[in-house]
């Protein structure tokens, strides 16, 4: 029985070893260029059986601890494109564009370089289409009414009528049937001290008399002198 126990102890002693450092696989480099670091796991272990190891405190390993970091990718980075943030969409409605600044940067110092130093095919786009919302439709815009053409009685007054886009620019897209009147009848208060005369801007007074329109108030006011006595 004692001999069998000795044989078991001898058998187990073949698998028990002194503590030693165990190292894992290196990680990926933290940078692809301009110097980075990669890391690995370093443990102090002791084999206690054919299939089992025990992790010990680092002080249990007498030899120098292997490094768990090392530099990598020490070569300089090539020049590369740097795209800044996009601008707001311009104009604020309808089809427009967003813009951004694209710079060629030195991979080593970060200084701005001429565009020719960076790869031509890889340049990011600096403009993209955008459309925030539909623009309001053009509208008819009227000016103030002008003075009445008659100094006494019935006449005409006029105003400007324009179709304008939301930008204030002239447009031809307003609906014609919604166009406001540009001219309307007006009436001026008569002053008894004013002489009876034809309105100077009217050239049809002889025709008014000829076609016997003097009995109509409007024409009688516009052609007062011509219609006098008729």
Is the same domain home to 22 and 68? yes
Residue 199 lies in a domain: yes
Residue the block writes with tokens 């260029």: 33
Is the same domain home to 207 and 177? no
35: left (phi over 0), alpha (psi -120 to 50) or beta: left
> Which pLDDT score, from 0 to 100, does residue 8 have?
40
Is the same domain home to 67 and 24? yes
Is the same domain home to 26 and 60? yes
Is the same domain home to 59 and 101? no
Is the same domain home to 84 and 111? yes
Is the same domain home to 92 and 124? yes
Residue 124 lies in a domain: yes
Select, from the ranges 29-33, 162-166, 224-228, the one with the highest average predicted confidence (pLDDT): 162-166
As a whole number of angstroms, the distance between CA 10 and CA 41 comes to 33
Domain count, the chain: 4
Is the same domain home to 144 and 126? no
Q: Which two tokens stand for residue 41?
A: 């796991």
Is pLDDT above 50 for 64?
Answer: yes
Q: Which residues pair with 157 in a beta bridge?
A: 184
Residue 4 lies in a domain: no
Residue 117 lies in a domain: yes
Name the domain boundary from 55, 72, 89.
72
Residue 10 lies in a domain: no
What predicted TM-score, i.e. pTM, was given to this entire model?
0.42
> Which pLDDT score, from 0 to 100, does residue 143 have?
95
Name the domain boundary from 72, 88, 104.
72
Is the same domain home to 66 and 41? yes
Residue 113 lies in a domain: yes
pLDDT tens across 81-112, in order? 999 999 999 888 888 999 999 999 987 677 89
Residue 127 lies in a domain: yes
Q: Print the SS3 string covering the chain.
A: CHHHHHHHHHHHHCCCCCCEEEECCCCCCCCCCCCEEEECCEEEEEECCCCCEEEECHHHCCCCCCCCEEEECCCCCCCEEEECCCCCCECCCCEEEEECCEEEECCCCCCEECHHHCCCCCCCCCEEEEECCCCCCCEEEECCCCCCCCCCEEEEEECCEEEECCCCCECCCCCHHHCCCCEEEEEECCCCCCCCCECCCCCCHHHHHHCCCCCCHHHHHHEHHHHCCC
Is the same domain home to 46 and 26? yes
Residue span of the structural domain in which 103 resides: 80-132
As a whole number of angstroms, the distance between CA 230 and CA 220 comes to 10
pLDDT tens across 152-205, in order? 777 889 999 999 998 899 999 999 999 999 999 888 777 666 677 887 666 788
Residue 150 lies in a domain: yes
Q: What percent of the chain has pLDDT over 90?
A: 47
Is pLDDT above 90 for 22?
Answer: yes
Q: What is the distance of C-alpha 20 from the center of its chain?
A: 61
């Amino acid at each position: 029985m004692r001999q069998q126990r000795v044989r078991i102890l001898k058998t187990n002693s073949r698998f028990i070893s002194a503590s030693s450092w165990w190292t894992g696989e290196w990680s990926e480099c933290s940078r692809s260029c301009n110097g980075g670091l990669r890391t690995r796991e370093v443990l102090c272990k002791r084999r206690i059986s054919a299939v089992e190891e025990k992790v010990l405190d680092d002080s249990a390993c007498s030899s120098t601890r292997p490094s768990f970091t090392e530099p990598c990718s020490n070569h300089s980075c090539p020049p590369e494109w740097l795209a800044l943030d996009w601008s707001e969409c311009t104009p604020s409605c309808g089809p427009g564009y967003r813009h951004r600044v694209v710079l060629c940067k030195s991979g080593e110092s970060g200084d701005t370089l001429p565009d020719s130093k960076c790869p031509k095919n890889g340049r990011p786009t600096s403009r993209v289409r955008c459309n925030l919302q539909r623009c309001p439709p053009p509208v008819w815009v009227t000016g103030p009414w002008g003075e009445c053409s008659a100094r006494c009685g019935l006449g005409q007054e006029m105003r400007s009528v324009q179709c304008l886009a939301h930008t204030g620019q002239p447009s031809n897209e307003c609906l014609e049937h919604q166009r406001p009147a540009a001219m309307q009848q007006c009436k001026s208060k008569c002053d008894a001290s004013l002489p009876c005369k034809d309105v100077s801007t009217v050239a049809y007074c002889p025709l008014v008399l000829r076609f016997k329109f003097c009995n109509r108030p409007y024409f009688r006011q516009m052609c007062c002198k011509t219609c006098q006595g008729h």
